[in-house]
Chain A
Amino acid sequence: MTALVTRRALPGSVDRLALAGAALIVLVVLAALLAPWIAPYPADEVDPVNALLPPSGAHWFGTDQVGRDVLTRVLYGGRTSLSIAVAVLAVSAAVGVTLGVVAGYAGGWVRDVIMRVTDVFLAFPALLLSLTLAVVLQPSVTTVVVAIAVTWWPWYARLSAATAASIANRPYVDAARCLGVPAPLVVVRHVLPNSLTPVLVQLSLDAGGVILTAAALSYLGLGAQEPVAEWGLMVQQGQTLFTTNWWVVTFPGLAILVTAFAFNVLGEGLRGALDPRRIVK
């Protein structure tokens, strides 16, 4: 067998779009992290006299019903929304990948049990299950995280189980066993690290979805509660004013749109770049 000299093909358009997505994400994350320093006003400063002012030099994104600066709220809202996304994805990936890798490597009845449990969770429409959980638990940011993570981990379990099952038959896994490496170590050192690439792509693709779902739950009053700044909650509070005071709902809405879009574009770009079918001679 001759060794192929390969390189990854990155068609310019996809590559540039993915880079733009990554740049946008960096910008959003920085804005959220630096909110306390760059926000023009304190987060919860109520100023009824200046309520519902349109965008101006003093308030770039205008003010809301109680006179809070919308730009400030969007910046702080990013902290909440991104924290939710990170927490949900961390919990989902940790639980899902662990179960999936064990199922994929062990096979047999272990896989059957884990995958059937996974199927039960997948059988419920995700938003419906999240909604039910959010109703049962007290509305809060933590509730949103729990409710979304419960519906999100099965996808990671299924993805990792498939990858791990194919990795488990690779010669280097056999080689490790031939060296006397115990099964748990084989999983941790060889199966897990080599199963992570598709998970990384999925994480990026999912980040946008999680932010949208969290926004939806908050919008329905089941997530973040006043006075917490959260994009979904801000959209919900501003929607009745859309025809009269468009800025209250538009800017948090745009923030959701731009962030979700950026993560999706980055995920698609990563998927393209890491797809073996794109490797050319």
Chain B
Amino acid sequence: MIEVRDLQVAYGGRVVARVPELDLRAGECVAVVGESGSGKSTTLLSLLGLTEGADVSGHVRVCGVDVLTATPRELRAIRGARVALVMQSPQAALSPTTRLGVLMRRALRLHGLPSGERVLAEAAEAVMLDPGILRRYPHEISGGQAQRFAIALAIALGAEAILADEPTSALDVTVQAEVVGVLRRLREERGLALLLVSHDLALVSTIADRVLVMRDGTVVESGPAAEVLSRPAHPYTRELLEALP
């Protein structure tokens, strides 16, 4: 579904992310871990061709589309409808002047999908949200609800993969568990692929199949989650694990 080879993202000659290899298959969860500024989010954005003003080289294939050579129209067709992005600050990612239902309906229409009440309600229920929430504005819902709405939007659009950028770091612990629960269930039930960017190793250990550890824009270690987290080969991975409370 997502295939990355020798990806390099640079701003003004400075390389901010270098990923030699990254594959994401249906139903799989791959986590990219590392501290702030290690190039995780940049990697994520480059997969959807959203790194404006950056020099991107290598080979990035997402849902059969070569992202680096694709036309804007081809890129827009995969954004949202095939690969959805869930952001770190859930409420800030929703336009404050638009009701959630209106936002979802517009997104569906944009991609030429049916946008009836039923479709919207089903998407909300899939993430355990009361469909009544679709009549509300972003400031009237909680962070956890906003994050689940972002996932509901991905489901309504029929996304095959979700790219999640620190999806739980802005939420408190109980709400984090809710969101992770929803993601895990969707993975099992719908074969949704999940590319998770996080610095939260505890979260990663519970959900990821494979892990990439990034530092200063470079992948320093990668492999099956259980292996990397229990027998880290790189000193930096050991450092991250020791930093766990």
Q: Contact partner of A181 among B94, B110, B157, CB < 8 A?
A: B110
The CA-CA distance from A221 to B134 in the complex, in Å, is 57
Q: Does A180 contact B (CB under 8 A)?
A: yes
Chain B 76-92 against A: per-residue CB contact (8 Å), 1 yes, 0 no?
A: 11111100110111001
Contact A180 B76, CB 8 Å, known A1-B170, A171-B87, A171-B89: yes
Asked if B77 and A172 make an inter-chain contact with CB atoms under 8 angstroms apart, the answer reads: no
Asked if B79 and A180 make an inter-chain contact with CB atoms under 8 angstroms apart, the answer reads: yes
Asked if A175 and B106 make an inter-chain contact with CB atoms under 8 angstroms apart, the answer reads: no
Asked if A189 and B95 make an inter-chain contact with CB atoms under 8 angstroms apart, the answer reads: yes
**CB of B18 to closest CB in A, whole Å:** 23
The CA-CA distance from A178 to B50 in the complex, in Å, is 8
**CB of A226 to closest CB in B, whole Å:** 47
Contact A194 B81, CB 8 Å, known A174-B87, A178-B48, A180-B76: no
Q: Contact partner of A194 among B95, B110, B150, CB < 8 A?
A: B95
Asked if A180 and B77 make an inter-chain contact with CB atoms under 8 angstroms apart, the answer reads: yes
The CA-CA distance from A180 to B106 in the complex, in Å, is 11
B-contacting residues, A154-176, CB 8 Å:
170-172, 174-176
Cβ contacts under 8 Å, A181 to chain B: 76, 107, 110
Q: Does A190 contact B (CB under 8 A)?
A: yes
Q: Which residue of A lies closest to B170 (CB)?
A: A1
Cβ contacts under 8 Å, A189 to chain B: 95, 98, 106
Q: Contact partner of B142 among A3, A170, A180, A185, CB < 8 A?
A: A3
Cβ contacts under 8 Å, A177 to chain B: 50, 79
The CA-CA distance from A178 to B88 in the complex, in Å, is 13
Asked if B143 and A3 make an inter-chain contact with CB atoms under 8 angstroms apart, the answer reads: yes
Asked if B98 and A174 make an inter-chain contact with CB atoms under 8 angstroms apart, the answer reads: no
**CB of B92 to closest CB in A, whole Å:** 4
Asked if A179 and B80 make an inter-chain contact with CB atoms under 8 angstroms apart, the answer reads: yes
Q: Which residue of A lies closest to B79 (CB)?
A: A180
Contact A179 B89, CB 8 Å, known A172-B95, A194-B96: no
Asked if A175 and B79 make an inter-chain contact with CB atoms under 8 angstroms apart, the answer reads: no
* 25 pairs, CB–CB < 8 Å, chain A vs chain B: A1-B170, A3-B143, A171-B87, A171-B92, A172-B94, A172-B95, A172-B96, A174-B93, A175-B87, A177-B79, A178-B48, A178-B50, A178-B79, A178-B87, A179-B79, A179-B153, A179-B157, A180-B78, A181-B76, A189-B106, A190-B95, A190-B98, A193-B95, A193-B97, A194-B95
